[in-house]
Amino acid sequence: MSVQTTLRAAATGLMLTIVAACASSDDQQNLYSEGFTRVRAALTPQTPPASPTTESVLATTTGPLMRVVVENRGVSTFLFPIETNGAYVTWGASDRRSLTLKRGMLTGSRGLGEDLMSSGADASLALITARRSGSAQRIQRYLTPDNRSYEIVAACNIAPDGTQGVGAGVIRMTEVCQAPEHRFTNTYLVDGAGRILDARQWVSPQNDYLRLTLVRG
């Protein structure tokens, strides 16, 4: 609600209150009540529209669909593939924010703030999609507000985490990474074909973790 609309509603309530002073007792009570109701409604924050549900988006769209949750902001959106470059697929939202994935692993982001400009994680990806244990180095690249680049270089240990009941033929893989100033744990649900169906990945210090779920492949 705009400031102008709020002030107009408050002024209306005040006018009703002034008129009530010249009215009968019963009329005064009704006008006071109406005036206060309008002022209270004008000053009460409006509830934002509800986010679309997965079911509603599935019913009104076709083709591949991904749901993304920014955990530390409590917001979610749905993405659709907008560009393919070899093994890299860029998924975009209606507000022009986008994520780039390689075989289901997040490798870049745009429009989130403190974006992941690119990453070097092929060794991790190979182990995760093969559902094997091992060690790998992960490099994540960023730009500062004054357009300087910097990297976070982490040593990662990858392994199945032994969790049961995640789905027929699906294994949960963990990637525990340690950098000089950051420690994070990524998790992936991987099927027998090596597809990452669901991932929880650390993006940057500001954005923390994203949850990416392939709703429709």
Q: Are residues 9 and 115 in the same domain?
A: no
pTM: predicted TM-score of the whole model, two decimal places = 0.74
Q: What is the pLDDT of residues 94-136, one digit of tens each?
A: 888 999 999 999 999 999 999 999 999 999 999 999 999 999 9
Domain that holds residue 16: 3-43
Q: Are residues 83 and 10 in the same domain?
A: no
Note the pLDDT tens digit of each residue in 34-75. Answer: 554 554 554 555 554 556 788 888 788 889 999 999 999 888
* Domain match, 39 and 135 both: no
- Chain-wide mean pLDDT for the chain? 83
**3-state class (DSSP) for residue 26:** helix
Q: Are residues 80 and 139 in the same domain?
A: yes
> How many whole angstroms separate alpha carbon 70 and alpha carbon 113?
12
On whether both 30 and 58 belong to a single domain, the answer is no
The pLDDT of residue 30 is 56
Query: Distance from CA of residue 60 to its chain's centroid?
Result: 21
Contact 116, 108 (CB under 8 A): yes
* Cα–Cα distance, 138 to 116 (Å, whole number): 13
Lowest mean pLDDT, pick from 112-121, 150-159, 163-172, 194-203: 163-172
